[in-house]
C-alpha cells in the first residue's frame, strides 16, 4: 500500500503531463504483477469494488467522530477519502508496529475487499484504517471507492502502460475493453515476455471520436467545402455494436448500458458498429433530455417504462460493417456506407441524423441562429476527409452549440463551496417571480428555478460572497438565505417542466452569465416567461 | 455583553477587541489610543496607534517593519512582568508562535482573561515555548480548527526537503515561507538537521532574518539571491527561501526547473497544496493544530472559551462537548473567515 500511496501522492503534486507519465512508467517498471495491474485498473476506472461505498465510509467515520466535526471537515477538504484519512482518530493504545501493515499489498487488499461479505466489509476497512498511516489510508479508500482525482485520465494511464512496451497507445486502447484487471497478460506482452493478448469479445467497445468546441473566429480559416454539417442532438452519445442475435450498447466512455435499453438491442438486426445519439422518441418527436434521464442508470427496465419512454438511435457514423473496419475511410465514404446499410435494413427504432446542407458559413450561421427545434443542441462540423480517430483530435471535428437562453433571476440562497472554495458562498440558488400562492392578491413571490456555481471570476466570487454575508436573513448549516436584492443573469441550454421543482421548471446546465448589480430585483423575469421557453 | 464577571472585561468594538477596565485594545485593526500587541504579524500589529505595550522582540519587529512603533512610543514588557493599565494588570507570557509572541494575561477584579493571540504548543527553536495560564475566560485562535489538521513532527517534514535535495541535486529548491517566523524556523530546523551550507534569501526575507540574529537566534550562513546587478548564479541543489507569492512569480524564473516547496499548515490538504502549484508540500505550521487547540482549551481550565481567527464553528462545538461555555467571536460581532 505504501508504494501505491506514494504513487498517488507523486501524481497529485506533479502537474506536467510528461512528469506524470514518467512517474507512472517507473511505477509500472518497479512494481510486480499483479499489484501494478490493480493500480492501473484503479486509474482507468476499471476497478469496481462494490463493498466499499461512500456511505459505508461515512458510517465508519461517524462511528468514531462527531458528525458535525466530520461535516465541517468534509466541507473544507472537499474529498471524502482525504477527509476520512486525515480525520481518522488514531487509537492511543494500538500496538502500532504489530498493527501497521504498510506491507499490505495492493492485491491482498483488492482480494479481501472482493471476497469479504458485504456485512463484514466495514469491519475489514476499519481494521486497516487503524493500522495504516494517513497517506496509505487515503490510498486504500481511493482504491476501494474509485474517483482518484490525481489528475490522471484513463487515457494517460494507458499511455504510460503503452510506453512501457513502446507500443502505440491506440493499439492498447483497441484491446482495452477486452482485457480484465490485473492485466498480467497485457504486461507480459508489453515487456516482450508474451504474445499480444487476444481480445475475445467481438462486441468490444471501440474508442470514440470526439469534437472540439468551435471558436467562431476559426470559421474564417476553414473552407466550407471541406466540411459536412449535421445537427447535434440532445441525448446521450453512444456506440452500438450489433451482430445477428446479439449486441452491445456503450456510452462514449465505454460504459455498457445495454441492460437498460433492451428495446434498442432487439431492433438492432444488422452486423455493424454505429456511432449515434440515444434519444427518447414518441410518435416521431424527440423528447426532452429529462425523459431520457428516466431510463438511464437503471439495471432493469419495466414494461411501462419501455412503452412510455421508447428509446431510439439516431445514427451519425459507422465504424465497422460485417467485420470490416471502416474507420480509416474518409467521413464521406463512411457516410455513404451508413446510408446504404440503413436503406437495406430499415431497422425500426433507428434513423439517420440528416446532413445539413449549406452554401457558406454565413448561411450555416443563420441556420444555427434560427434553430429552435426540439432536442437540438447545436451543430457538428466534420471534415469530409476525416478518418474516425480515437479521442479528441484537434481539427477534424467541431461542435458548435447554439447560443444559450438567458433569464434574469433573483438570488435566493447561497451555499458554501467545497475545497478551495470552502470559505466562500459559491453555489447560488435563484428564482423568478410568480403570483403569490394563496389568496394574497396582487402579491408576487420568488420560486426557485435553478442552482449554479460557475460562470464568474474569482474577483466576482469575492464580491458575491461579501454580498451574501451582508444580506443574509437565515442560516441553515452551510446554506444562507438572502433577502431579494441581487439579480443574476443566468444562461442555460434548455428548460423543461419538472414536478420535482417547486416552480415547475428545471434548467439544463445553468451558469451565471452576468451579475446585474445594477438591476432592480423587482424587474427580474417571471416564471411565465420561462414557461414560454419550454420545448 | 455581560455586566459583571469575566465576560464583562472584554468588548467587541469596531476597532477590535477592547479591555474595558484597562481602556486598551488587543491587536486592534484600526489605530487606537492604547494597544497591547501580541505579536508582529501584520494582521495583529498595525502602525499608527498611540501607545503600544508588547514584548521587546515584538517592538523590534514592528520597528523594522513600519519604521515606527507608535506615535507616543512603545513600552516593552518582559515575559511574566506585570504592567498596570487603568484598572487592569497585564502580563505577557510566551505563546510559542513566533519570536516575541505573547498571550495577554489580564487580571481584574472581575476575574482573569487570557487572549492567546496566535499560538502553538510544539517546540520551536526560534522562540519561547507556550505557557499555560489558568484563567476564567480564554480567547483562542482557531486557524486550524478542524480535526483534519494534525501537524506531523517538524523533523520529518524538514527531512522531506533534505531528501528531495538528494534526489534532485541539480535543481534549485525554492521554499515558500512567511517572512516572519516561518522562514527563520525553517532555517533553524535545517541547521538542527545538520544542514550547514549557506541558505539563500529572497530580498524580502533578509531584514527579519538579520533581526532574529541580532535578537540572539543563530541562523548560520545566509546569502542574498540578488547580489550585485543582475547577478546570475547556478542555484542547482541549493535552498532558496522566498515569500510564498514569489514561488510562481517572474522572480522565480531565474532558477529554471526548480522544485517548488511551501512550508505551511495548509499543505495537509492535498487539493489545496496542489492548487498553490506546489511540488513539495511541507506541513510546517506556527499555529496550533486540532489536538493542540483541544488540549489547550482544557488545560487553561477556563469556564468560558471564546474562539476567533479561523474555523470557529468546529472548535466551539468541541468545547461545548467538553461542557465548556463556548462562543465564536464572529457571533459576537466579528465576521471573518479568511485564512
| pLDDT, position B69 | 86
B291 touches chain A (CB under 8 A): no
**What is the dihedral sign for C-alpha B310, B316, B317, B322?**
positive
Chain B residues in contact with A69 by the CB 8 A cut-off are 146-147, 314, 317-318
| pLDDT, position B339 | 30
Residue B82: is its pLDDT beyond 70?
yes
Residue B264: is its pLDDT beyond 70?
yes
User: Would you call A463 a catalytic residue per the annotation?
Assistant: no
- For residue A228, the SS3 value is strand
Inter-chain contact B278–A13, Cβ cutoff 8 Å?
yes
A334 domain residue, yes or no: yes
- The Cα A297–Cα B305 span in angstroms is 50
Same domain, yes or no: A93 and A113: yes
A61 domain residue, yes or no: yes
The residues, any chain, with a CB within 8 Å of residue B336's CB and separated by 6 or more, are B308, B309, B330
CA distance A292 to chain B (A): 35
What does pLDDT average to in each consecutive run of 10 residues of chain A (535 residues)?
A: 92 86 93 95 89 92 93 90 92 54 82 91 92 92 88 89 90 83 95 86 82 86 94 92 88 82 89 95 84 78 88 96 93 96 89 93 87 77 94 90 88 84 85 81 85 89 91 83 93 83 84 90 90 79
CB pairs < 8 Å spanning A and B? 69
Cβ–Cβ under 8 Å, residues B151 and B283: yes
> Last residue of some domain: A145, A172, A189?
A145
Chain B residues in contact with A66 by the CB 8 A cut-off are 317-318, 321
| pLDDT, position A97 | 46
Same domain, yes or no: A326 and A437: no
CA angle, A169 then A175 then A178, to 5°: 145
- For residue B125, the SS3 value is coil
Same domain, yes or no: A382 and A432: no
Residue B2: is its pLDDT beyond 70?
no
**Residue in B123, B104, B145, B137 with CA at minimum distance from that of residue B5:** B137
> Last residue of some domain: A145, A160, A184?
A145
A179 domain residue, yes or no: no
Same domain, yes or no: A387 and A343: yes
**What is the dihedral sign for C-alpha A375, A379, A383, A389?**
negative
CA angle, A67 then A73 then A74, to 5°: 85
| pLDDT, position B137 | 97
- The Cα A504–Cα A519 span in angstroms is 25
> Last residue of some domain: A351, A369, A401?
A401
CA distance B276 to chain A (A): 10
pLDDT tens-place string over residues B219-263: 999 999 986 555 567 899 999 999 998 887 778 878 888 999 999
Strands B239-242 vs B280-282: parallel, antiparallel or unpaired: unpaired
Residue B195: is its pLDDT beyond 80?
yes
Mean pLDDT (chain B, rounded): 91
Same domain, yes or no: A411 and A395: no
Same domain, yes or no: A515 and A374: no
A192 domain residue, yes or no: no
pLDDT tens-place string over residues B121-176: 999 999 999 999 999 999 999 999 999 999 999 999 999 999 999 988 999 999 99
Which member of A20, A142, A232, A382 is catalytic? A232
CA-nearest residue to B150 within chain A is A86
Inter-chain contact A78–B271, Cβ cutoff 8 Å?
yes
**What is the dihedral sign for C-alpha B18, B21, B23, B26?**
negative
| pLDDT, position A83 | 95
Higher pLDDT, A119 or B114: B114
Inter-chain contact B314–A72, Cβ cutoff 8 Å?
yes
The secondary structure of B188-251 as a DSSP string is HHHHHTT--S-EEE-HHHHHHHHHHHHTT-----EEES--STT-----TT-EEEE-GGGTTSGG
Same domain, yes or no: A334 and A414: no
Q: How many domains does chain A have?
A: 3
For residue A521, the enclosing domain spans 405-531
To the question of domain B6-148+287-328 being in CATH 3.60.15.10, the answer is: yes
Chain B residues in contact with A420 by the CB 8 A cut-off are 271-272, 275
Cell numbers for A201: 469479445
Same domain, yes or no: A450 and A393: no
CA distance A420 to chain B (A): 6
Same domain, yes or no: A299 and A394: yes
CA angle, A377 then A379 then A385, to 5°: 145
The enclosing domain of A439 has a CATH number of: 2.40.50.140
Cβ–Cβ under 8 Å, residues B50 and B68: no
The residues, any chain, with a CB within 8 Å of residue B331's CB and separated by 6 or more, are none
Strands A472-476 vs A479-482: parallel, antiparallel or unpaired: antiparallel
A336 domain residue, yes or no: yes
Three-state secondary structure along A68-133? HHHHHHHHHHCCHHHHHHHHCCCCCCCCHHHHCCCCCCHHHHHHHHHHCCHHHHHHHHHHHHHHCC
Any idea where the domains of chain B sit in the sequence?
6-148+287-328, 154-282
Chain A residues in contact with B273 by the CB 8 A cut-off are 12-13
The residues, any chain, with a CB within 8 Å of residue A393's CB and separated by 6 or more, are A209
Chain A residues in contact with B149 by the CB 8 A cut-off are 86
Chain A residues in contact with B330 by the CB 8 A cut-off are none
Inter-chain contact B271–A77, Cβ cutoff 8 Å?
yes
Same domain, yes or no: A345 and A383: yes
B313 touches chain A (CB under 8 A): yes
> What pairs with residue B91 in β-bridges?
B82, B105
CA distance A99 to chain B (A): 20
Give the model's confidence band at B336: pLDDT under 50 very low, under 70 low, under 90 confident, else very high: very low
A42 domain residue, yes or no: yes
Pairs from A301-309 (Cβ < 8 Å, separation ≥ 24): A301/A259, A301/A260, A301/A261, A301/A262, A306/A262, A306/A263, A309/A280
The enclosing domain of A82 has a CATH number of: 1.10.3260.10
CA distance A105 to chain B (A): 23
| pLDDT, position A138 | 94
Query: CA–CA distance from A470 to each of A425, B13, B332 (Å)?
Result: 12, 18, 15
The enclosing domain of A343 has a CATH number of: 3.30.470.30
- The Cα A328–Cα A333 span in angstroms is 10
CA-nearest residue to B266 within chain A is A77
| pLDDT, position B335 | 39
Q: Which helix (H) or strand (E) holds B275?
A: helix B270-275
Chain A residues in contact with B333 by the CB 8 A cut-off are none
**Residue in A407, A453, A454 with CA at minimum distance from that of residue A431:** A407
Cβ-based neighbour number of residue A18 at 10 Å: 8
A161 domain residue, yes or no: no
Inter-chain contact A420–B272, Cβ cutoff 8 Å?
yes
The angle that helices A35-44 and A154-164 make with each other, rounded to 10 degrees, is 150
Inter-chain contact B270–A12, Cβ cutoff 8 Å?
yes
**Which CATH number is correct for B154-282, 3.90.320, 3.30.200, 3.40.50, 1.10.1660?**
3.40.50
- For the stretch B214-250, what's the b/e string if a residue is b when 16 or more beta carbons lie within 10 angstroms of its beta carbon? eeebebeebeebeeeeeeeeebeebbbbbbbebbeee
Same domain, yes or no: A389 and A413: no
Return the CA Rg of chain B: 21
Inter-chain contact B338–A423, Cβ cutoff 8 Å?
yes
B 292-311 residues with CB < 8 A to A: 311
Cell numbers for B122: 510544539
A391 domain residue, yes or no: yes
- For the stretch B191-210, what's the b/e string if a residue is b when 16 or more beta carbons lie within 10 angstroms of its beta carbon? beeebeeebbbbeebbebbe
Amino acid at each position: 500500500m505504501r508504494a501505491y500511496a506514494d504513487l498517488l501522492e507523486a501524481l497529485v503534486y506533479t502537474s506536467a503531463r510528461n512528469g506524470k507519465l514518467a512517474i507512472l512508467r517507473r511505477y509500472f517498471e518497479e512494481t510486480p504483477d499483479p499489484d501494478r495491474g490493480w493500480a492501473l485498473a484503479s486509474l482507468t476506472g476499471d476497478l469496481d469494488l462494490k463493498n466499499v461505498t461512500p456511505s459505508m465510509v461515512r458510517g465508519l467515520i461517524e462511528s468514531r467522530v462527531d458528525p458535525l466535526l466530520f461535516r465541517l471537515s468534509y466541507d473544507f477538504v472537499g474529498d471524502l477519502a482525504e477527509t476520512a484519512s486525515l480525520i481518522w482518530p488514531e487509537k492511543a493504545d494500538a500496538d502500532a508496529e504489530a498493527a501497521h501493515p504498510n506491507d499490505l499489498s495492493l492485491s491482498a487488499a483488492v482480494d479481501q475487499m472482493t471476497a469479504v461479505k458485504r456485512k463484514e466489509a466495514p469491519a475489514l476497512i476499519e481494521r486497516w484504517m487503524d493500522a495504516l498511516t494517513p497517506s496509505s489510508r487515503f490510498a486504500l479508500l481511493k482504491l476501494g471507492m474509485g474517483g482518484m482525482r490525481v489528475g490522471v485520465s484513463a487515457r494517460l494511464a494507458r499511455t504510460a502502460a503503452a510506453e512501457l512496451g513502446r507500443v502505440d497507445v491506440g493499439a492498447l486502447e483497441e484491446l482495452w475493453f477486452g482485457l480484465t484487471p490485473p492485466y498480467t497478460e497485457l504486461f507480459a506482452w508489453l515487456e516482450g515476455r508474451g504474445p499480444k493478448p487476444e481480445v475475445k469479445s467481438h462486441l468490444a467497445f471501440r474508442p470514440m471520436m470526439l469534437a472540439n468546441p468551435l471558436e467562431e473566429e476559426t470559421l474564417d480559416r476553414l473552407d466550407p467545402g471541406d466540411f459536412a454539417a449535421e445537427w447535434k442532438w440532445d441525448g446521450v452519445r453512444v456506440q452500438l455494436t450489433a451482430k445477428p442475435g446479439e449486441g452491445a450498447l456503450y456510452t462514449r466512455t465505454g460504459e455498457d448500458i445495454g441492460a437498460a435499453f433492451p428495446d434498442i438491442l432487439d431492433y438492432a438486426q444488422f452486423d455493424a458498429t454505429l456511432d449515434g445519439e440515444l434519444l427518447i422518441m414518441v410518435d416521431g418527436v424527440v423528447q426532452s433530455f429529462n425523459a431520457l434521464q428516466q431510463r438511464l442508470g437503471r439495471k432493469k427496465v419495466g414494461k411501462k417504462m419501455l412503452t412510455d419512454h421508447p428509446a431510439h438511435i439516431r445514427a451519425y457514423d459507422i465504424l465497422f460493417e460485417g467485420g470490416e473496419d471502416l474507420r480509416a475511410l474518409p467521413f464521406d465514404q463512411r457516410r455513404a456506407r451508413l446510408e446504404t446499410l440503413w436503406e437495406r435494413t430499415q431497422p425500426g427504432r433507428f434513423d439517420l441524423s440528416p446532413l445539413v446542407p449549406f452554401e457558406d458559413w454565413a448561411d450555416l450561421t443563420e441556420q444555427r441562429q434560427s434553430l429552435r427545434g426540439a432536442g437540438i443542441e447545436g451543430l457538428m462540423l466534420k471534415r469530409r476527409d476525416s478518418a474516425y480517430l480515437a479521442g479528441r483530435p484537434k481539427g477534424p471535428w467541431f461542435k458548435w452549440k447554439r447560443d444559450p437562453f438567458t433569464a434574469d433571476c433573483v438570488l435566493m440562497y447561497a451555499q458554501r463551496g467545497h475545497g478551495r472554495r470552502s470559505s466562500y458562498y459559491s453555489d447560488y440558488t435563484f428564482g423568478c417571480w410568480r403570483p403569490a400562492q394563496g389568496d394574497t392578491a396582487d402579491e408576487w413571490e420568488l420560486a426557485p428555478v435553478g442552482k449554479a456555481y460557475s460562470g464568474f471570476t474569482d474577483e466576482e466570487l469575492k464580491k458575491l460572497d461579501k454580498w451574501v454575508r451582508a444580506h443574509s436573513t437565515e442560516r441553515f448549516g452551510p446554506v444562507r438565505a438572502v433577502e431579494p436584492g441581487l439579480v443574476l443573469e443566468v444562461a442555460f441550454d434548455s428548460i423543461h417542466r419538472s414536478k420535482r421543482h417547486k416552480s415547475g421548471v428545471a434548467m439544463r446546465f445553468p451558469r451565471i452569465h452576468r451579475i446585474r448589480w445594477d438591476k432592480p430585483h423587482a424587474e427580474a423575469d417571471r416564471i411565465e416567461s420561462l414557461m414560454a421557453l419550454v420545448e | 455583553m455581560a455586566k459583571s464577571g469575566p465576560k464583562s472585561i472584554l468588548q467587541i468594538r469596531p476597532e477590535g477587541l477592547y479591555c474595558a477596565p484597562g481602556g486598551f485594545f488587543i491587536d486592534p485593526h484600526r489605530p487606537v489610543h492604547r494597544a497591547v500587541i501580541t505579536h508582529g504579524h501584520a494582521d495583529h500589529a498595525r502602525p499608527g496607534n498611540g501607545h503600544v505595550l508588547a514584548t521587546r522582540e515584538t517592538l523590534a519587529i514592528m520597528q523594522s517593519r513600519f519604521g515606527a512603533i507608535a506615535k507616543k512610543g512603545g513600552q516593552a514588557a518582559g515575559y511574566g512582568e506585570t504592567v498596570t493599565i487603568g484598572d487592569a494588570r497585564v502580563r505577557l507570557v510566551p505563546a510559542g508562535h513566533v519570536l516575541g509572541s505573547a498571550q495577554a494575561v489580564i487580571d481584574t477584579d472581575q476575574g482573569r482573561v487570557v487572549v492567546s493571540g496566535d499560538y502553538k504548543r510544539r517546540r520551536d527553536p526560534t522562540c519561547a515555548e507556550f505557557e499555560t495560564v489558568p484563567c476564567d475566560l480564554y480567547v483562542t485562535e482557531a486557524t486550524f480548527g478542524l480535526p483534519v489538521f494534525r501537524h506531523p513532527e517538524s523533523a520529518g517534514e524538514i527531512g522531506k526537503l533534505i531528501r528531495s535535495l538528494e534526489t534532485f541535486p541539480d535543481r534549485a529548491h525554492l521554499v515558500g515561507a512567511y517572512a516572519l517566523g516561518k522562514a527563520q524556523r525553517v532555517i533553524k530546523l535545517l541547521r538542527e538537521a545538520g544542514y550547514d551550507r549557506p541558505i539563500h534569501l529572497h530580498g524580502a526575507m533578509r531584514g527579519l532574518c538579520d533581526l532574529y540574529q541580532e535578537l540572539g537566534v543563530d541562523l548560520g550562513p545566509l546569502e542574498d539571491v540578488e547580489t550585485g546587478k543582475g547577478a546570475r548564479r547556478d542555484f542547482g541543489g541549493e535552498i532558496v527561501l522566498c515569500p510564498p507569492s514569489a514561488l510562481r512569480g517572474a522572480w522565480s524564473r531565474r532558477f529554471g526547473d526548480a522544485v517548488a516547496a511551501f512550508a505551511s499548515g495548509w499543505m495537509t490538504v492535498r487539493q489545496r497544496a496542489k492548487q498553490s502549484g506546489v511540488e513539495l508540500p511541507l506541513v510546517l505550521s506556527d499555529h496550533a493544530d486540532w489536538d493542540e487547540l483541544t488540549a489547550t482549551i482544557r488545560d487553561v481550565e477556563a469556564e468560558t472559551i471564546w474562539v476567533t481567527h479561523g474555523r470557529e464553528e468546529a472548535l466551539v462545538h468541541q468545547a461545548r462537548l467538553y461542557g465548556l461555555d463556548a462562543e465564536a467571536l464572529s457571533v459576537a460581532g466579528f465576521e471573518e473567515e479568511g485564512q
